[in-house]
Amino acid sequence: MADRISDYYTLPLDDWIEFFVKDWLVPNFRPVFQAVQWPIDQVLGGLEAFLLWLPYPVFVVVVPLIAWRVAGGGVALFTLLSLLFIDLLGIWRETMVTLAMILTAVAFCVLVGVPLGILAARSDRFASIIRPVLDIMQTIPPFVYLVPIVMLFGVGIVPGVIATIIFALPPVIRLTNLGIRQVQAELVEAGLAFGSTRRQLLFEIQIPLALRTIMAGLNQTLMLSLSMVVIAALIGAGGLGLTVFTGLGRLDIGRATLGGIGIVLLAIMLDRITQALGEGRQARRPGVKNTLIRLFKGLFQGSRAYDERR
Amino acid sequence: MSIDTTGNDAARKEAKVRVEHLYKVFGAQPDDTLRRLQAGETKDRIYADTGSVAAVADVSFDVHQGEIFVVMGLSGSGKSTLIRCINRLIEPTRGRILIDDEDIVGLDAEALRRLRRDKLSMVFQHFALFPHKSVGENVEYGLKIRGMPARERRDKALKALEQVGLAAHADVPPDNLSGGMQQRVGLARGLAVDPELMLMDEPFSALDPLIRRDMQDELLVLQQRLRMTIIFITHDLHEALRLGDRIAIMKDGRFVQLGTPEAIVARPADDYVAAFTRDVDRARVFRARALRRDAEALGPEASVEKARERLAQLERTALYVIDAHDRPQGVVRRASLESAAAPTLEALLERDFPTAHEDQELVELYDVCATGLPVALVDGEGRLTGVVEPLEVFRLLGGNGGESDGGEAMGDTASRPSEHAGSLEMRRRNHG
């Protein structure tokens, strides 16, 4: 056989990485990582408590109403039926836990991703630095970084959310960058020609015009974070992911499918609503205020008519 | 290559914008390109050798307070780059740009922003209206940037919209309007900030011909009232001739000729300019004043003998008689003076004589020229200011040169805009 380099020498990269993470990163920076965990923990805890506290009938009325306002009658009906079905399956609690996880992850993705995207749009150098990082984040299998995440953050639902954030962050950065760069050059020139500051340019012109694209990125981020639900369950996150995971462990096809159905329904609902949010800017519907006024006027007149009839 | 500023104080004071030896090079090594340009290499040659594009090469000019200065050139001539250098949307490579005697090339970002906000505005070829804002909000934009309170800027925006006849459309999105209306909004947005200098980058080029003509008329009407200082870019010579108080013809990054519309049509600096002016309707470019001669009128009390004497001396066919207030009373022909033996001038006077205003286009003089009598030029108060001989009208239209002054060919090596700046005769539009 032909000699290969590895017959004489193999690079001990695995040892180095292990050393780097175990003997340097963990002992020296654990407090930093713990501190990062804190805000996520707070938001997640609050959101989860709120969603679980929210009485079921309120949720089933309010969410389809929102869907109707944003995305129209069809999506609203679908949302209503999905929510009823989820409850019928007996996985309401798990769905709420998962929803809280997803919303937390997306919120932090936006919080971190939009500013990074803006930065990338403004600076070609920053864009060229961040691009390979995003490529790695999107291609590296999540299982690879689950181990260091457990080492640094421990197990539980918050490390699950952190893994989700890493996985789901790239689209919102990429599409924010893209959206701002795609704003017509002449419009940016117009803004500059009238003496806008960079901030005014950003908030008056660039972000409003990039909003559709940014919302598309948000939608992608949302979908990616949903696909992380099961993987996050591996390191102790609960919710629908856990249902699937335990079903898998016990070869309980029924339970695994229930979890799967919940995830899919949640995904479709969130997707339709956020997509409509992105497009809704253009198609102006009657405002919320007007709708409410009309509703109350109607109720008032109805009750008066009722009184008069008596 | 120094600018002559001595003895030109009057012109200097008047110059709202002064551009001196401006260069803009797109490419990796601008210094090298500048050296080649100064050595006289052509733009194409430089591009072939270095890959650098010399978009603007040694351009100098003054823009006077209250005039429309038109830069006319074909695509690729560097005119859009030039106008963007003036508010530094594009950074000049070398040269000075003075606005109110302040060199704006050296301004830091904050000072530049203030200059743009407080003194300049711009109108764009493709309108560049913000699609997410209503028409009113678009017009308000420059004022909002200045931090003006919402109500005040709304009022100002509505006033600006009124000037372009669109006040009723303030609350619709700009996409709902036609192209011509959209550019009116662009114009209103530029006007709302009361700019000291308005930059117009081919504002009417994207409109269809009829609308374009309307917009040109509208701009002239506005300009009569507002007397703005405007730098106007176009690729259309007819537009340049209609709008410009002075016109610069640009080719390959340089000014080929700078002068009044009359001067450019009457004396094109080279074949390139001549190719453009060949099919220009001269009767619409030249105004009666271009052919004005001193009237040599007679006073009301002049005798027949004196009239005969003056006519012979001046070798004219007819003379005007004016009253004590310089108003023309009538005209006497040489023929009638020689044949008749009337005792007084009064009896020979023809009271039905052709008149015109100095600012009228020659095309409007055809009718009055048909009488064969010299046309009396009168000013706003009816005073005789000169005469135009009908024959000269036709001679000028035939292409045998005009008498107007103010042309200047731009040499390849040196251009000295300030030398002639004082003597340029501006075409006045507001009659009286």
Whether residue B331 is found in the same domain as residue B363: yes
> For the domain that residue A136 is a member of, what is the CATH number?
1.10.3720.10
Q: Is residue A252 part of a domain?
A: yes
Residue B128 covered by a domain: no
In a domain, A229, yes or no: yes
B65 and B208 in a common domain: yes
Quick one: A106 exposed, middle or buried, by C-beta within 10 A (0-12, 13-18, 19+)? buried
Give B103's strand partners: B98
The answer to whether residues A186 and B126 touch, using CB atoms and an 8 Å cutoff, is yes
Sheet-wide strand order for B102-103: B53-64, B15-26, B94-99, B102-103
Cβ–Cβ under 8 Å, residues B185 and B177 = yes
The CATH number linked to B31 is: 3.40.50.300
Nearest of B68, B113, B87, B66 to residue B19 by alpha carbon: B87
Domain-located, residue B404: no
Q: Do B132 and A281 touch (CB under 8 A)?
A: yes
Residue whose pair of structure tokens reads 């990082």 in the numeric block: A133
The DSSP-derived string for B79-96 is: HHHHHHHHTTSS--SEEE
Give the pair of three-digit tokens for residue A207: 């972000």
- At A277 the pLDDT is 83
* Contact yes or no for B273/B249 (Cβ under 8 A): yes
User: What does the H/E/C string look like for A29-85?
Assistant: HHHHHHHHHHHHHHHHHHHHHHHHHCCHHHHHHHHHHHHHHHHCHHHHHHHHHHHHH
Q: Which residues pair with B251 in a beta bridge?
A: B254
Residues B51 and B89 reside in one and the same domain: yes
User: What Rg value do the Cα atoms of chain A yield, rounded?
Assistant: 24
Q: A185 and A144: one domain?
A: yes
Q: Is residue A10 part of a domain?
A: no
User: Number of folded domains in chain B?
Assistant: 2
| Chain B interface, best mutation among A188, A189, A194, by max B CB count within 10 A | A194
CB–CB of B116 and A281 under 8 A? no
For chain A, the residue count is: 310
Residues 102-121 on B with a CB inside 8 Å of A are 113-118, 120-121
- Please indicate, yes or no, whether residues A110 and A240 belong to a single structural domain of this protein: yes
**Residues B75 and B206 reside in one and the same domain:** yes
Q: Tell me the one-letter amino acid at A91.
A: I
Give A210 to chain B, closest Cα distance, Å.
Answer: 11
E strands, A66-190, are: none
Residue type, A151: M
Identity at B231, one-letter amino acid code: I
Question: What gap in Å lies between CA B193 and CA B187, rounded to an integer?
Answer: 11
Local structure of A104: helix, strand or coil: helix
**Tokens standing for residue B158:** 């509505």
pLDDT at B29: 82
Pairing of strands B197-201, B120-123: parallel
* Residues B280 and B310 placed together within one structural domain of the fold: no
The whole-angstrom separation of Cα B25 and Cα B91 is 10
Is the same domain home to B95 and B217? Answer: yes
Over residues B255-308, the pLDDT tens digits come to 999 999 888 888 888 888 888 888 787 777 787 777 888 877 887 777 777 877
B426 belongs to a structural domain: no
CA-CA-CA-CA dihedral for B348, B354, B357, B362, to nearest 10: -140
Q: Do residues A247 and A270 both lie within one domain? A: yes
Among residues A194, A199, A148, the alpha carbon closest in space to that of B186 is found at A194
- Residue carrying the six token digits 């090339």: B105
CA pair distance B309, B294, nearest whole angstrom: 17
* Lookup: tokens for B149: 């309170």
In chain A, what residues touch B142 (CB-CB under 8 Å)?
Answer: 194-195
Among A187, A197, A204, select the one facing B113 at the smallest CB separation. A197
Q: Could you say which DSSP state residue B425 is in?
A: P
B233 and B358 share one domain: no
Chain B residues with CB-CB distance to A186 below 8 A: 124-126, 128
Structure tokens at B378: 């009168």
Residues of chain A with pLDDT under 70: 1-2, 280-310
For B376, which DSSP code?
A: E
Contacts of B199 in chain A (CB under 8 A): 193
Pair (A109, A200) in one structural domain: yes
Residues in CB range of A199: below 8 A, 6 or more apart: none
Inter-CA distances, A94 with A164, A229, B66, Å: 17, 11, 73
Question: If you search the block for the tokens 């109108």, which residue do you land on?
Answer: B123
* Domain coverage including residue A148: 90-280
Domain shared by A69 and A192, yes or no: no
| Tokens representing residue A82 in the block | 């999905």
Confidence at residue A295, expressed as pLDDT on a 0 to 100 scale: 58
What's the domain range around B307? 289-397
Phi, psi of B298 (to 5 degrees): -100, 150
Domain count, chain A: 2
Contacts of A200 in chain B (CB under 8 A): 145
Phi and psi at A20, nearest 5°, equal -60, -45
Neighbours of A66 (CB within 10 A): 13
Beta bridge pairs of residue B98 = B18, B103
How far is A276 from A132, CA to CA, in rounded Å? 31
Rounded to whole angstroms, what are the CA distances from B249 to B77, B264, B286?
9, 9, 18
Residue B177 domain-assigned?
A: no
Q: Are residues A132 and A72 in the same domain?
A: no
Instruction: Assess A36–B contact: CB distance below 8 Å, yes or no.
Output: no
State the count of interchain CB pairs (< 8 A) between A and B: 61
For chain B, list residues with pLDDT below 50: 1-13, 401-409, 411-432
The first and second tokens of residue A50, run together, are 């709120």
Q: What is the CATH number of the domain that holds B314?
A: 3.10.580.10
Check whether residue B58 and residue B72 sit in a common domain: yes
Same domain, A94 and A81: no
Give which of B117, B125, B171, B200 to mutate to test A binding, by max A Cβ within 10 Å: B117
The shortest CB-CB distance from B116 to any of A184, A193, A281 is to A193
Are the beta carbons of B294 and B312 closer than 8 angstroms? no
Q: Are residues B76 and B225 in the same domain?
A: yes
Least Cα separation, residue A189 to chain B (angstroms): 7
CB contact under 8 A, B117 and A195: yes
* Residue A47 forms part of a structural domain: no
Residue A26 covered by a domain: no
Q: Is B130 among the domain residues?
A: no
- Verify that B18 and B104 share a domain, yes or no: yes
Residues A81 and A148 in one domain: no
Does residue A12 form part of some domain? no
Helix (H, G, I), strand (E, B) or coil at A279: helix
**Which pLDDT belongs to residue A292?**
62
* B350/B269 same-domain check: no
pLDDT at A204: 93
Q: What digits encode the pLDDT tens for the residues A40-85?
A: 999 999 999 999 998 989 999 999 999 988 888 889 999 999 999 9
Confirm whether B188 is domain-assigned.
no
Does residue B359 fall inside a structural domain? yes
- Clarify whether residues A96 and A183 are in a common domain: yes
Q: What is the pTM of this model?
A: 0.75
Question: Chain A: nearest CA to B141, how far in angstroms?
Answer: 8
* pLDDT attached to residue A69: 87
- Give counts: helices (H), strands (E), chain B: 19, 16
B198 touches chain A (CB under 8 A): no
State whether B126 and A186 contact (CB < 8 Å): yes
Whether residues A214 and A70 share a domain: the answer is no
Q: Are residues B219 and B207 in the same domain?
A: yes
> Does residue B166 form part of some domain?
no
CA distance B132 to chain A (A): 7
- Going by their DSSP bridges, the two strands B15-26 and B53-64 should be labelled as antiparallel
Same domain, residue pair A153 and A229: yes
| Residue A248 domain flag | yes
In chain A, the largest separation of any two C-alpha atoms, in whole Å, equals 103
Please report whether residue A292 resides in a domain: no
In this structure, the answer to whether residues A80 and A175 fall within a common structural domain is: no
B292–chain A nearest CA distance, Å: 43
State how far the Cα of B175 lies from the Cα of B130, in Å rounded to an integer.
9
Q: Cα B11 to chain center, whole Å?
A: 17
- Classify residue B234 by its DSSP letter: E
